[in-house]
Chain A
Amino acid sequence: MSRESSSGAGVRVVDARLHLLSRQVLDVDGEPVTTVDDLELVAADARDDDAPRDAAPGEPAELGAILTGPVLVTRLLGGRPPASRWERVPWRDVGHVGTALELTVRADSLDVHWPEGWLREHVVGRIPGGRHDPEEAS
């Protein structure tokens, strides 16, 4: 718990479904990235540099990552996707929790950003005017 000792600040109690699930995730510039479709729980003793261990019942646990993508489909229809198909935003990239979750990194740097990035490069960005800033005089 290296970060906890260095912070010296307080603790804020939230309920996951009430305050985190289905909230909008914004990147450091305020651009929407995804929604919180599910959350991954990991064992709390892992250090930042280790590969996180899965949480076990009754043993100290913490949030490891925001999950999105296929987990939404299974939350709608039931079941759960294999861990290899989870699309993660690491919890350590979360900066603020308000009416939306604000990240400390840019959307482009995240793995979950690929569908938007792909469409930008291959479709929408290629249409004339696709990179035009609407707030500027045209």
Chain B
Amino acid sequence: MILGDLLDARVRGPGGEHLGTVVDVRLALETLRGDDPSPDDPDREARALSAQVRRRDRVGRARVVGILVSPRSGAPLLGYERTGVTAPWPVPQLVRRRHRGTFLVPWEDVAAVGPGEVRLAAGYRQEDAALP
């Protein structure tokens, strides 16, 4: 299976009802003990400014957590409905509004993946889509 099989696939409930589209796949990256690959780089602090860039932990396995389902399809998402970014006004606000109702379905609750379609298991859970 490749990620392309899941992304933009239609999502159907156990009874075949249309629920939306797969907009993303959530993963849990194992972070191993942080090692520093370039301790002699004098510009390291200046180079690595944001927390995301500065985070030098080695990553290990990447477990599939679940699929993110939006009731709306289309339009590049930019992830604004899952993050707290508010600038540049009004772009994040508009995207968030459009993709209101996006939810996370745990991978265990995915019953079948066919061409362009994902079917959820009976009693599937809908969880909060926000990124921690």
Direct contact between A and B judged by beta carbons closer than 8 A: yes
Given contacts A18-B24, A18-B79, contact A58 B121 (CB under 8 A): yes
Chain A, Cβ-Cβ closest to B56: A96
In the complex, A18→B61 CA distance in Å? 18
Q: Are B27 and A57 in contact (CB under 8 A)?
A: no
Chain A, Cβ-Cβ closest to B114: A57
Measured between beta carbons, the chain B residues less than 8 angstroms from A61 are: 1, 63-64, 107
Interface residues of A in 2-19 (CB under 8 A from B): 3-4, 7-18
- How many chain A residues touch B (CB < 8 A): the figure is 46
Is A95 interfacial (CB 8 A cutoff)? Answer: yes
Is A21 interfacial (CB 8 A cutoff)? Answer: yes
Given contacts A9-B30, A13-B131, contact A96 B58 (CB under 8 A): yes
Interface residues of B in 104-118 (CB under 8 A from A): 107-113, 118
Q: Which residues of A contact B (CB under 8 A)?
A: 1, 3-4, 7-18, 20-21, 28, 38-41, 44, 54-58, 60-63, 67, 71, 74-75, 80, 86, 91, 94-99, 102
> Would you list 24 pairs from A and B whose C-beta atoms are within 8 A, ordered by A residue?
A7-B31, A9-B30, A9-B31, A9-B34, A11-B29, A12-B57, A13-B29, A13-B131, A15-B24, A16-B26, A17-B23, A17-B77, A28-B37, A38-B2, A40-B1, A56-B1, A58-B107, A60-B64, A63-B64, A96-B37, A96-B55, A96-B59, A98-B53, A98-B55
